Structure 1
Amino acid sequence: MERGDESGKNNISQSTANKIEIDCVIFNFDEESLKVLLVKQKDNQGNINFELANDYIKEGETISGTAQKILKKYIGVDNFFLEQLKAFGYPSPSSAQEDISIGYYAMVKRDIEEIEDEIFNPNVAWVNINEVSGLNDKHKVILDFSLKELRKNICQSAIGFNLLPDKFTLLQVMHLYEEILGIEINKSNFRRKILQMDLIKDLNEKEEAVSHRAAKFYSVNLQQHEMLAHRELNFNF
């Protein structure tokens, strides 16, 4: 699922492609924690630094095609939400002209262990969003902007469910919103509001082998999800 600037479908000439970088902020919600995929890089002194997943647009490629290629390289599947953010300008290290980066943010719902089992890359790390360090200034700006967009959009639409597994508990949904928004949510009010929206459906399944009271499993009501995706919501918890 992808949204973005339609102009991104146009092919980019070779002369322009060398100056345009696609930077992807890849989010995952795992163990009640929002994480971002970072790529390890060594500088000239041998120090380890981190950067966002990125690549330059090659001749004949499109903006959106390059972004999708980056996602598939690092997570190996087509099951992700991808949205274009905007273009970012930054000083060029090789000329007086400004270089351009086009930012995207993505949401991956698969278990991190499952992704890592399929694509083992020792240069990739999933880092808690509150523990990110070592990014260059350009990637710090893109990451901060993507977080602001994510926090705004999960309160105005149902896109947050793209971070949840196919079946989930209401508590998992609540923890997702608490983690991203950095707030505490009243459990009963949250439950009532989510159920009133008819956004999820009861699977008639419960957790098994748990020490606490078994919670019900739900899944996204796809028909309602598509309908709500086209109008603004107000998830004011």
Structure 2
Amino acid sequence: MEKGDEKVRKTARQTSGNIVEIDCVIFNFEDDSLKVLLVKQKENQANITWRLANDYIKKNETMSSTAQNILERYIGSNQFFLKQLKAFGYSSQSSLQEDISIGYYALVKRGKMLNETLKDDAKWISIHEVTGLNDKHKAILDYSVKELRKNICSSAIGFNLLPEKFTLLQVIRLYEEILNIEINKPNFRRKLFQMDLVNDSNEKEQDVSHRAARFYSLNLKKDEMLAHKTVDFNFYCKSIFME
């Protein structure tokens, strides 16, 4: 957190006794790569470092409202999936006691990019290329990736990372990237149709050099994406989490 936030830190401590910070891992899927939003740390211009998008809970704010405000600030949109992770304890140089961070992860569709006014202070980077995070933020990022992997196996939340209309190959590549596995494409397509999870939009790709793929849309309402009895990708995930 930047030096300019020290006044907010002191106010938060006077209110609660402990600093409560909200740290958001914001995911985006683009170019077949799972990316996370990192924000420029401005404490030392001679040695720029990066951090997760975060903020302190201010007076009259809740954990949820603070997390949503963080997303809207950096994404410039209120269209996203947001899920709370857990509390992380940490100590900082300006604190004599353990402070608390509440971790969240968010899924943002491709195309809903950065708030234009902040694009010079934040960037998307592949989760495989993230370096230099402090120990707290690295722990939160690692935990959020594990939780995302678990959740896409038993729900349809991964589709929050895809466009409204997508090809089956995009779905396959999304799962391959997040789960870090190679998927049997015919078998995956068959399972997808058996779950009645997608609708054919009767549209195809245009102006492509390869065979045009069909576009599909998700056959679930938003409130069904996290928990629906027909959604089960564990035929791919069981072996991963047994390792």
The within-5 A match list for 1:1-237 is: 15-16=15-16, 19-44=19-44, 46-111=46-111, 115-116=113-114, 118-223=116-221, 226=224, 229-231=227-229, 233-235=231-233, 236-237=235-236
Change (3 A) 1:212 1:101: same
Report the Cα distance in structure 2 between the residues aligned to 1:44 and 1:58, rounded to whole angstroms.
25
Report the Cα distance in structure 1 between the residues aligned to 2:162 and 2:15, rounded to whole angstroms.
41
Counterpart residue identity of residue 183, structure 1: I
Deviations 1:59-101, CA, capped at 9 Å, x for gaps: 0101100000000000011110000000000113223310000
Report the Cα distance in structure 2 between the residues aligned to 1:86 and 1:228, rounded to whole angstroms.
18
Checking the alignment, whether the CA contact within 8 Å between 1:76 and 1:119 is kept in structure 2 is no
Counterpart residue identity of residue 194, structure 2: Q
What is the aligned partner in structure 2 of residue 5 from structure 1?
none
Report the Cα distance in structure 2 between the residues aligned to 1:21 and 1:49, rounded to whole angstroms.
19
Helix, strand or coil at the partner of 1:183: coil
Change (3 A) 1:74 1:232: same
Report the Cα distance in structure 1 between the residues aligned to 2:25 and 2:222, rounded to whole angstroms.
27
Checking the alignment, whether the CA contact within 8 Å between 1:13 and 1:60 is kept in structure 2 is no
Report the Cα distance in structure 2 between the residues aligned to 1:17 and 1:218, rounded to whole angstroms.
51
Checking the alignment, whether the CA contact within 8 Å between 1:174 and 1:190 is kept in structure 2 is yes
* TM-score with structure 1 setting the length: 0.88
Helix, strand or coil at the partner of 2:188: helix
What is the aligned partner in structure 1 of residue 240 from structure 2?
none
- State which drifts further: 174-183 or 116-125: 116-125
Counterpart residue identity of residue 148, structure 1: K
Report the Cα distance in structure 2 between the residues aligned to 1:232 and 1:139, rounded to whole angstroms.
35
Report the Cα distance in structure 1 between the residues aligned to 2:220 and 2:17, rounded to whole angstroms.
38
Helix, strand or coil at the partner of 1:21: strand
Q: Report the RMSD for the aligned CA atoms in angstroms.
A: 2.1
Report the Cα distance in structure 2 between the residues aligned to 1:15 and 1:224, rounded to whole angstroms.
36
Checking the alignment, whether the CA contact within 8 Å between 1:41 and 1:51 is kept in structure 2 is yes
Deviation at 1:234, TM superposition (A): 3.0
- Percent identical across equivalent pairs? 67
Please state which structure has a larger fraction of its residues in strand: 1
Deviations 1:34-55, CA, capped at 9 Å, x for gaps: 0000001134472011100000
Change (3 A) 1:224 1:90: closer
Report the Cα distance in structure 1 between the residues aligned to 2:96 and 2:64, rounded to whole angstroms.
27
Report the Cα distance in structure 1 between the residues aligned to 2:219 and 2:205, rounded to whole angstroms.
20
Change (3 A) 1:19 1:152: same
Report the Cα distance in structure 2 between the residues aligned to 1:71 and 1:228, rounded to whole angstroms.
20
* TM-score with structure 2 setting the length: 0.86
